[in-house]
Amino acid sequence: MDKLFLIIITHIININVGQLKTYIGLDSLSAGSEISFFDAQFADKGIYFGSFKDNILIVSNKKAFEFYYKDVSTFEKTISTLAPNIEVAVLTLDDANNFYGYSLIKDGVRQRVKAGTDTEVFVDEGKPIPEEEALLKANLISDNELETMKAKHGEAYTLKQIGYEVGKRVPIKLLTHFFGNNMDEVAENLNKVLLIEYK
């Protein structure tokens, strides 16, 4: 998956997709046509709402980035405090710019937030989650490649590259928490998701 700009809101009761835009201050937007989940990832404008099972989905390349500031943005605060006991997961990938990000929020509090590129980490809050730890142990870069990288670019650069290889895989791994037990199920279920464009 080359692009992913996804906000998932779970455990939210008595707020449906149609009402959500009012609650988050986007009431002036008008509903447009339906679009597939995957097509929405490549849309440069608009914001897209949908659902899967009990989860509300928001796709927006602009809104997703508001969860990666060091200081909590107004939009993040609004989403994460919509109702008691909700959880929010923000999963972001943009291969064209080597960007990855993931934010996990529970009861309005950041549990884990990390975002960066292949050369820089912009935010890194909370303890690494199991998906990160498993990927760190997976030897994503071979020993020979690591030694060559260290010799050419040094230890600091090599560590950044390891972090990047892990970071860009975590959002994909986290999709299995919401859309299926494995990536085949995830792809099958996401292919069924239709979102409504608001602009």
136-181 tens-digit pLDDT: 888 888 888 888 888 888 988 888 888 899 999 999 999 999 999 9
Strand partners, 197: 48
Give pTM, 2 decimals.
Answer: 0.92
Q: What is the pLDDT of residue 45?
A: 79
Query: CA torsion 31→34→40→43, rounded to 10°?
Result: -60
pLDDT at 16 over 80: no
Tens of pLDDT, residues 30-86: 888 999 999 999 987 789 999 999 899 999 999 999 999 999 999 999 999 888 889
What is the spatial distance between Cα 159 and Cα 60, in angstroms, rounded to a whole number? Answer: 31
pLDDT at 193 over 80: yes
Q: What is the pLDDT of residue 87?
A: 95
Whole-number Cα distances in Å, 44 to 6, 32, 168: 14, 15, 21
Over residues 113-126, mean pLDDT:
94
What is the SS3 string spanning 93-161?
EEHHHCEEEEEEEECCEEEEEEEECCCCEEEEEECCCHHHHHHHCCCCCCHHHHHHHHHHHCHHHHHHH
Strand partners, 96: none
What is the spatial distance between Cα 190 and Cα 193, in angstroms, rounded to a whole number? Answer: 5
**Domain locations in the chain?**
3-198
Tens of pLDDT, residues 110-119: 999 999 998 8
Of 81, 64, 91, 66, the closest CA to residue 24 belongs to 81
pLDDT at 189 over 80: yes
Query: CA torsion 146→118→131→10, rounded to 10°?
Result: -170
